[in-house]
Copies of this chain bind each other. A is one copy, B any other.
């Protein structure tokens, strides 16, 4: 049982049936047809020879099939990681050199090792540092950078230095006059065809008589069709002689098995990028895996996913590949094509391997412009401009994090973007926690409920101040809360009891405990007793381990209502509320509803 949780293949492999085999084989064929052009395209995006994209779709896929907990996730190169890999490896060696290819593999190896380590040490929570707005901004901004970087391939322009948006645009503007008409024609046609195919292909095929499911599957083959058409055009029209750049000869043969040189001088600059690639890759992949698993009421174990993705990247690094993760588009294709188990992934790997072994030389006339069109159409669909609009309406801090991440990514680069986003989010989290919602509460007439005096017409008693704190007590907010409470007490000389309603307090850290101890002491010196009400079970369990409950000047009540009822009964008989006290700031509702408090509780003996 222990082993099967580490090797999920032991679970699904034991129950494998002939029907599964047929379904998985069919899905593998569909995915292979999609993956070949994608692999070629993302490898060139990452500054690597095209065959590397195919290598990265073999061993990593097998590794994930053995270890992964998602039944439909398809692992391989993806656009955003390819851009991150290009940027990182570019710091170590210039793209196009063998040293660059080795750095790309080393990067995958490092990311893989980090992911496995995070999985084994249960450090998956580190991925939580990436909030949805940060990831969304990063993906959209990266997609823009990627699309920009491909424009030169569409136009047949020479490569540019640097990967920032400003550098790319400057280079494009400078070399625009050198645009190659034939390349533009090929690329432009592919671009239009692919853009149309995303929405128009399936309905057309259905109208031509294909069943809906088959039409959807066939529509997914549009990139393969574009590739084939592009090659045909090059060969038939002799476009290569006209300056249309093509892939050229792709070596046929097994992926190389080699450990990249582990030199500190190369490893150190790649550590941060490798970590960021690991985080982004994991976040994206788990999100896809959970989406698909939920559809079949299956489940994904994030910690095991870390190990599986890590193994996939280790495999990529050892077989001349580069950074991989679970891709959204291909996983959906795999799922829709009926993949039932990770065996579909294994069959896909065999399919790609056949492509490498037998298809390589045939791909020589494939124009770069067609691959660029594939990438552009694919990444532009990643840009979601609805997100910032929603964020602006829902949460300013999240919107600010979005903007900061997007700007840093576009202006400086992918790593700066992720780092800026994470730091900004941490700052916002700390800032938010440090300004908790604190409400002075009173009794809703005729009920036992206590609500905010600013929102409701409630009954309060002058000698009892009831405050609800809607946040766990931690070092981030106890100074603010204490200052608020002391100021409220100082402003109400008639208060004899402060009741903290703890229903929103999920935890109290040592600083919170220290504050409560200081507070009970300070209030006692001012003649005010401190009480707690509605303390949660886990919080109370921990308070019982301390001396605080003994030092507490007042009592702990099960409910706020019990607290107020008891304290009101204990009040000295000759101490009626002053009738005409002017309202204090936000507690105006309190004064408005004061008269009603007369009938609330009798004045018992002191």
Contacts and interface: CB of A to CB of B under 8 A. Distances in A.
Interface string A394-406: 1101110000000
Contacts of A474: 131, 429
B525 A493 contact: no
Nearest to A391: B510
B291 A518 contact: yes
A170 B132 CA distance: 52
B537 A125 contact: no
A245 to B, nearest CB: 41
Interface string A524-536: 0111000000001
A470 B538 CA distance: 10
A133 interface: yes
Interface in A270-308: 286, 290-291, 293-302
A509 to B, nearest CB: 6
A7 interface: no
A294 B398 contact: no
B302 A483 contact: yes
Interface stretch (A174-182, A201-209, A252-260, A430-438): A430-438
B290 A522 contact: yes
A453 to B, nearest CB: 13
Contact of A133 (B132, B395, B433, B510): B510
Interface stretch (A20-28, A77-85, A500-508, A580-588): A500-508
Interface in A474-500: 474-480, 482-483, 486-487, 489-491, 493
A129 interface: yes
A452 to B, nearest CB: 7
A515 B127 CA distance: 15
Given A299-B490, A302-B483, A470 B506 contact: yes
A261 to B, nearest CB: 33
B125 A483 contact: no
A440 to B, nearest CB: 14
Contacts of A483: 290, 299-302
Contacts of A197: none
B507 A504 contact: no
Contact of A542 (B301, B394, B429, B491): B394
A133 B302 CA distance: 33
A526 B477 contact: no
Interface in A442-491: 451-452, 455, 470-472, 474-480, 482-483, 486-487, 489-491
Contacts of A130: 475
Given A393-B545, A510-B133, A537-B452, A434 B128 contact: yes
A373 to B, nearest CB: 31
Contacts of A525: 294-295
Interface string A367-399: 000000000000000000000001101110111
A514 interface: yes
Nearest to A543: B394
A425 interface: yes
Considering residues A491, A503, A507, A545, which has the most beta carbons from chain B within 10 angstroms of its beta carbon? A507
A125 B455 CA distance: 27
A88 interface: no
A154 interface: no
A311 interface: no
A165 interface: no
A556 interface: no
A57 to B, nearest CB: 27
A394 B513 contact: yes
A34 to B, nearest CB: 23
25 contacts: A125-B430, A128-B434, A131-B509, A133-B510, A134-B475, A290-B486, A293-B490, A294-B522, A297-B489, A297-B526, A301-B487, A302-B480, A394-B545, A394-B546, A395-B510, A398-B511, A399-B510, A426-B430, A429-B475, A429-B476, A432-B507, A437-B507, A471-B472, A503-B503, A504-B536
Given A299-B491, A390-B510, A399-B510, 5 more contacts: A132-B511, A293-B486, A293-B490, A297-B526, A455-B537
